[in-house]
Amino acid sequence: MSTFWSAWVMFLVVLNLGITFFLFLWAPRVKIPVLPDGTTGHVWAHGALRESVRKLPTWWIGFSASMFLWGFIYLALYPGFGAFKGLLGWTSGAQLEQQVRVNDALREPILQRVRAGTVEALAGDAQVTAIGHTLFQENCAACHGSTGRGNTVLGAPNLVDDDWLYAGDGETILTSILDGRRGVMPAWGGALGREGVNQVAAYVLSLGGSEAPEDWVAAGQTHYATLCVACHGADGHGNPVLGAPNLTDDIWLYGGDFARIAETIRDGRAGEMPSLRARLGEDQARIIAAWVYAQSHAAAGNPPVDSSMDSPDGEPSSGAQPHEAG
């Protein structure tokens, strides 16, 4: 703080404290003119209420005096009176550094377990997964929901249903968090036309056991074999190497009704899971991966949480990253 601003702050402090302390000392001694009945002459409600004058109670004067005393003591002990650092030498920066050191000492044993263990093993560590849930809420909940249920509007997949685009083992989940994923479902509207899109949509629905017009299903199967089989496979079970979703399990990133599926086929989808390596670092990413793994793998000892309200339209979604819809 420069000399000018230090002096300016000191001036304001002295001015404000001086005025208020003067009023505190003067107010109890000032004489207010009153009528013989002890009132000021101010009346309300046609004279039913009259303003009287009473001395300030002793407890109020004592309390106010103690507040002035505390204010003077505070200015002596702590920074606040211009550039004066206070007799204690306290600074917010030094306190923060001390608290960071304490926090680092507390978390170091946890980080040692995180660095030494696999994601699968960490998923059974209640302390690690509790921290993982907090980190997930801070970094991932905007897309996936606070409990990982996902969001079909954004194409953010459900992370607690044990259905994955890129496989659900610990290292794959960790890779997705650290390096991100990018997926593209091509737009086939131009190649198929409206009728062809409807036919493929009907065939895709039939893969999951839904009823659809048989003539559309038959024609859609032909189109599927030409345009879709390279990514989704002949049986529609998808390809985790490519991140192509399973079309037979009735779990959808963008909704599984006929209109949504047709929209996906016609217009395509482009989804991206951003890389969080620079933001989180590997330790925090491993902790989040452990929490995600625990929610989707009952064998890890942590069954999925109840998060039925996370998805805006109630549709389940799939996988570990926003990606192309089935």
| Dihedral pair phi/psi, residue 7, rounded to 5° | -65, -40
What confidence score (pLDDT) does residue 173 get?
A: 93
Domain tally for the chain? 2
Q: Is residue 258 part of a domain?
A: yes
Based on the fold, state whether residues 174 and 280 are members of the same structural domain: yes
Please state, in angstroms and rounded to a whole number, the distance separating the CA atoms of residues 176 and 148: 15
What pLDDT digit, counting tens, does each position of 48-86 carry?
898 888 888 899 999 999 999 999 999 999 998 888 889
List, for residues 105-123, the tens digit of each pLDDT value.
988 999 999 999 999 999 9
262 and 147 both lie in a single domain: yes
pLDDT at 298: 59
Q: What is the DSSP string of 71-111?
A: HHHHHHHSS-STT---TT---HHHHHHHHHHHHHHHHHHHH
- How many whole angstroms separate alpha carbon 8 and alpha carbon 260? 65
Whether residues 11 and 160 fall in one domain:
no
Q: Under DSSP, is residue 47 helix (H, G, I), strand (E, B) or coil? A: coil
CA atoms of 155 and 321, how far apart (whole Å): 8
Out of 169-173, 230-234, 309-313, pick the least confident: 309-313
Same domain for 193 and 323, yes or no, is: yes
Claim to verify: residue 173 and residue 42 sit in the same structural domain? no
pTM of the model: 0.64
> Does 98 map to a domain?
no
- In the chain, the largest separation of any two C-alpha atoms, in whole Å, equals 107
- Answer yes or no: do 278 and 206 share one domain: yes
Q: What type of residue sits at position 213? A: P
Q: Determine the average pLDDT of the residues in 282-311.
A: 69
Are residue 193 and residue 287 in the same domain, yes or no? yes
Residue 164 contacts residue 289 (beta carbons within 8 Å): no
Annotated binding site for heme c: 140, 143-144, 185, 228, 231-232, 273
- Residue 34 in domain: yes
Backbone Cα Rg of the chain:
34
Residue 89 lies inside a defined structural domain of this protein: no
Q: Name the pLDDT band for 183 (thresholds 50, 70, 90).
A: confident
Asked if residue 227 is part of any domain, the answer here is yes
Looking at the chain, which runs of residues are DSSP E strands?
Answer: 39-44, 49-52, 181-185, 269-273
For the chain, the average pLDDT equals 85
Which one of 46, 77, 108 terminates a domain? Answer: 77
Binding residues: 140, 143-144, 185, 228, 231-232, 273
| In contact, 88 and 77? CB cutoff 8 Å | yes
Residue 322, domain extent: 118-326
Angle at Cα 292 formed by Cα 288 and Cα 297, nearest 5°? 145
Q: Please check whether residues 22 and 131 belong to one and the same domain.
A: no
Least trusted range by pLDDT, from 3-12, 28-37, 101-110, 226-235: 28-37
Domain CATH number, residue 205: 1.10.760.10
Q: In the predicted model, is pLDDT for residue 318 greater than 80?
A: no
Tokens of 181: 């994923």
Residue ending a domain, among 24, 55, 77, is 77
270 and 164 inside one domain? yes
307 in the same domain as 223: yes
Buried/exposed 239-276: b ≥16 CB within 10 Å, e otherwise: ebebbbbbbbbbbbbbbbeeebbbbbbbeebebebebb
Where is the domain boundary, 59, 77, 95?
A: 77
The tens digit of pLDDT for each residue in 241-250 reads 888 889 888 7
Decide if 70 is inside a domain: yes
Tell whether 66 and 150 lie within a shared domain.
no
Q: Are residues 143 and 282 in the same domain?
A: yes
